[in-house]
Structure 1
Amino acid sequence: MKQCQLAIPSIIHAGQGCIEKIAEIIDKEQAENILLFTDKGVRGAGLCDSVEKICAKVSYKVIDDLTAEPAVGDIERVIAEVGKARIDLIIGVGGGSVMDASKLASIIVGADYTLKDLLKNSNIAKKYIKTVMVPTTCGTGSEATCNAIVAIPEQESKQGIVNNCMIPDYVILDVNMIAKLPPKIIAATGVDALAHVVECFTSKKATALSDTYAKEGACKIFHNIRKAYDDADDTEAKSEMMIGAFYGGVAITGSGTTAVHALSYPLGGKYHIAHGVSNAILFAHVMAFNKDACIDRLAQLCDAVYPELSSKSADEKADYIIGEIAGIVKDTSIPVSLKEFGVKDNDLDFLVNAGSQQTRLLVNNCKELSLDDIRYIYKQVM
């Protein structure tokens, strides 16, 4: 086995009702001043009520006005708003955007560098404030990763800031936080999580450690996403999705996503297509394009998820995984064409150019993509 490493959150609490563990965390960290990140939708749904009740025993400030998939300016505004206030603990309650903003605040508040400095060189980052992540979807995996994604409006794309100091200190995986999640959000975030585990398993940077989490996450998500989408009362399926999404985040930290995520960034940056949806539109097409370069890996994944197909050939197993990806997108009613979002044929040049610049992720892809290859993939979803 080649040398590898894996960084994961220090303490993970999982199980129905474990949100109450936040009180213990505050006591343990002797936190007197808390910065709570969320959004108006999450707060309006009452998902922050229990957290705010716990935080009310000390001093806390709520940031709930971040835009979805926040841009550089949004993060800079929040940092300026916090100013030089003393913050002992940051809690993020929400989806990927909320948690990414929380993680960025933990390395910028009190620092002598700026967000724009980090966009140029993320290696300079240091953690100044401990973090607690509470996901309210079953897909982004941000609660486990060392990544934070920000939109760059002037480039009409997104960029990832990556540094292990952003790995959260505490994670709360409480199924009550996704119990009333709309099927549409379960679908989009769930397919995002599925992309994480499949991409990480087929990544050039996959390791024995990341593979363990990617395979187990794939088992949980492939077998439960339809159940969680179809039955609002299936708490067990939602719990499995939440754990699977967390495993996907761990796999990202050890391996890395590939061309699916790389080519989805311009779709979010320019057309504001939700991250999970843009991944879903591209997912099966990218894996089909990659198939000849990762057929053995897809077959291994099929063996882990669907052992009943062990007698099939590697080619058949790879096709089955790709077919299941496409089937899940169809069964959860996620759009499959960019036309539905106003993307036109004459936008192709922009997409190809912007997608090709996502080299941080494209270098992980098992197959090198030329500009013509990228154009081909985008045309499949026009």
Structure 2
Amino acid sequence: MSYQIKIPSTIYGEEGCIEKIKEIIEKEQARNLLVFTDQGIRAAGLLEILLKELKKLPVNFKVFDELALEPCDQDVERLMAKVNEEQGELIVAVGGGSVMDAAKLCSILKGAAYGIKELLTDSSQAKKMLKTVMIPTTCGTGSEATCNAIVAIPKEQSKQGIVNDVMIPDYVILDSQMIRRLPKSILAATGVDALAHAVECYTSRKATPFSDTYAMASAKLIFQNIREAYHNPDNMEAKSNMLLGAFYGGAAITASGTTAVHALSYPLGGKYHIPHGVSNAVLFAHVMEFNKDACKRQLAQICDNIHPVMAMEDEEKKAQYVIDEIADIVRETEIPLNLDRFGVTLDDLDFLVEAGSRQTRLLVNNQKELSLKDIRDIYQKVLK
């Protein structure tokens, strides 16, 4: 089997490495920057860390900070109307997955003959119009490494991924000071999202030796650090490991792909606006329990890496240990265990089953085929 991996060409890591933005700007000979963030990031003072560096340089920059949480196609159109009015030689994104996804979309839409609607129909036509720099402020989405951008589709009450290799960022700055004051709830949700990337990619039908390497490294870092990072926010070593683990998980996606956890979570975000990491976390252990008999070997290998004292146990026990760890992490980090608080009830089940079954881009990656009944059974486990 032939396989490949495409990742950002330049990645910087270490607390304080945001200063590398100077090196990037000089290399790209950029004088007009388009800076993407959101108002929460700006209010937290994180954008100012970047702007402090930019103000030392002979550059102009325009900040776009009215980005929607989990943007829909109309949000992207409105953003592009403003972006196309500005000059720009380089895009810099400071934020979580929504900010980085919006920035990646702008990198292929600025000045292009096609629009977002055309990309939703056929993303293969995308071309990179501007290079991108990603500075993540959470430890989970992995968007800084991927060729994907997720867009909500209100009329379908779901989400869709736009996927094209040209959206892989050119530069990534993994500066742990950007997550120093990350709220515990966001650390938990984004961290479990990253863990889902790792486990799903490792157990995917499309897994390759390249994706396995990144997915396993991601799984080990996150399993072994997420509790510490959650309970002891001042432990910057744990947080740095989470940031790196999230990047590795994103890199795994580019060579493999997520599976049924992400597929079934999309309708939860699209219709009910449940945060992406939370919707994944609610479903994660239940989907892996369903998948267990089809990917027992891979789950056992993850167990060998994260809990080697079980090396002599059989595959069944090892696989169950990993699934139990996932469920325990969700409980310990106080992520909701069901959909009660989001107003999703059994009356919504038919919609969820139908919408979830349409996520074929990801469902085909699942080791075990899901029937409509299987999908219904999984959703029922998180509904009352």
TM-score, structure 1 normalization: 0.99
Deviations 1:94-134 (A, max 9, x none): 00000000000000001111111000011000101000000
Aligned-residue offset at 1:292? 0.8
Q: Which residue of 1 aligns with 2:164?
A: 163
Once residues 83 and 338 of structure 2 are traced to their aligned partners in structure 1, the CA distance between those partners, rounded to angstroms, is 41
Residues 119-130 of structure 1 correspond to what in structure 2 (within 5 A)? 119-130=120-131
Once residues 131 and 190 of structure 2 are traced to their aligned partners in structure 1, the CA distance between those partners, rounded to angstroms, is 26
Aligned-residue offset at 1:160? 0.2
The answer for unaligned runs of 5 or more in structure 1 is none
Residues 314-333 of structure 1 correspond to what in structure 2 (within 5 A)? 314-333=315-334
Q: Which residue of 2 aligns with 1:136?
A: 137
Q: Which residue of 2 aligns with 1:31?
A: 30
Aligned-residue offset at 1:86? 2.4
Once residues 19 and 312 of structure 1 are traced to their aligned partners in structure 2, the CA distance between those partners, rounded to angstroms, is 45
Residues 307-346 of structure 1 correspond to what in structure 2 (within 5 A)? 307-346=308-347
Aligned-residue offset at 1:381? 0.6
SS at match of 1:273: coil
On the 8 A contact 1:194/1:222 being kept in 2, the answer is: yes
| Letter in structure 1 aligned against 2:141 | T
Once residues 48 and 338 of structure 1 are traced to their aligned partners in structure 2, the CA distance between those partners, rounded to angstroms, is 33
| Letter in structure 2 aligned against 1:379 | Q
1:228 aligns with 2:219: no
Once residues 180 and 37 of structure 1 are traced to their aligned partners in structure 2, the CA distance between those partners, rounded to angstroms, is 20
Q: Which residue of 2 aligns with 1:291?
A: 292
| Letter in structure 2 aligned against 1:344 | T
Which region of structure 1 is more displaced relative to structure 2, 54-63 or 217-226?
54-63
SS at match of 1:92: strand
Once residues 242 and 205 of structure 2 are traced to their aligned partners in structure 1, the CA distance between those partners, rounded to angstroms, is 26
TM-score, structure 2 normalization: 0.98
Deviations 1:49-82 (A, max 9, x none): 1212333331111110111001111111111112
SS at match of 1:131: strand
Q: Which residue of 2 aligns with 1:352?
A: 353
Aligned-residue offset at 1:308? 1.7
1:362 aligns with 2:345: no
1:246 aligns with 2:260: no
Once residues 67 and 219 of structure 1 are traced to their aligned partners in structure 2, the CA distance between those partners, rounded to angstroms, is 32
| Letter in structure 2 aligned against 1:50 | I
Aligned-residue offset at 1:300? 1.2
Which stretches of structure 1, 4 residues or longer, exceed 6 Å deviation after superposition? none
SS at match of 2:94: strand
Which region of structure 1 is more displaced relative to structure 2, 79-88 or 101-110?
79-88
On the 8 A contact 1:84/1:109 being kept in 2, the answer is: no
Q: For the aligned residues, what is the CA RMSD?
A: 0.7
On the 8 A contact 1:84/1:110 being kept in 2, the answer is: no
| Letter in structure 2 aligned against 1:157 | S
1:50 aligns with 2:49: yes
Once residues 215 and 309 of structure 2 are traced to their aligned partners in structure 1, the CA distance between those partners, rounded to angstroms, is 19
Once residues 320 and 54 of structure 1 are traced to their aligned partners in structure 2, the CA distance between those partners, rounded to angstroms, is 46
SS at match of 1:48: helix
| Letter in structure 1 aligned against 2:31 | E
Residues 21-100 of structure 1 correspond to what in structure 2 (within 5 A)? 21-56=20-55, 57-100=58-101
1:16 aligns with 2:24: no
Q: Which residue of 1 aligns with 2:375?
A: 374
Once residues 213 and 228 of structure 1 are traced to their aligned partners in structure 2, the CA distance between those partners, rounded to angstroms, is 21
Deviations 1:272-303 (A, max 9, x none): 10000000000000000010111111111111
| Letter in structure 1 aligned against 2:12 | H
Aligned-residue offset at 1:340? 1.6
Which region of structure 1 is more displaced relative to structure 2, 194-203 or 298-307?
298-307
Aligned-residue offset at 1:84? 4.7
Which region of structure 1 is more displaced relative to structure 2, 197-206 or 292-301?
292-301
1:181 aligns with 2:182: yes
SS at match of 1:91: strand
The answer for unaligned runs of 5 or more in structure 2 is none
Q: Percent identity?
A: 64
| Letter in structure 1 aligned against 2:276 | H
Once residues 113 and 371 of structure 1 are traced to their aligned partners in structure 2, the CA distance between those partners, rounded to angstroms, is 36
| Letter in structure 2 aligned against 1:62 | V
Q: Which residue of 2 aligns with 1:270?
A: 271
1:106 aligns with 2:102: no
Once residues 118 and 285 of structure 1 are traced to their aligned partners in structure 2, the CA distance between those partners, rounded to angstroms, is 33
Aligned-residue offset at 1:176? 0.1
Aligned-residue offset at 1:85? 3.0
SS at match of 2:151: strand
On the 8 A contact 1:228/1:237 being kept in 2, the answer is: yes
SS at match of 1:61: strand
On the 8 A contact 1:9/1:170 being kept in 2, the answer is: yes
On the 8 A contact 1:34/1:55 being kept in 2, the answer is: no
Once residues 238 and 163 of structure 2 are traced to their aligned partners in structure 1, the CA distance between those partners, rounded to angstroms, is 31
1:209 aligns with 2:210: yes
SS at match of 2:285: helix
SS at match of 2:46: coil
On the 8 A contact 1:217/1:244 being kept in 2, the answer is: yes
Once residues 97 and 181 of structure 2 are traced to their aligned partners in structure 1, the CA distance between those partners, rounded to angstroms, is 18
Once residues 370 and 354 of structure 1 are traced to their aligned partners in structure 2, the CA distance between those partners, rounded to angstroms, is 13
Once residues 72 and 257 of structure 1 are traced to their aligned partners in structure 2, the CA distance between those partners, rounded to angstroms, is 22
SS at match of 2:75: helix
SS at match of 2:150: strand
Q: Which residue of 2 aligns with 1:305?
A: 306
SS at match of 2:295: helix
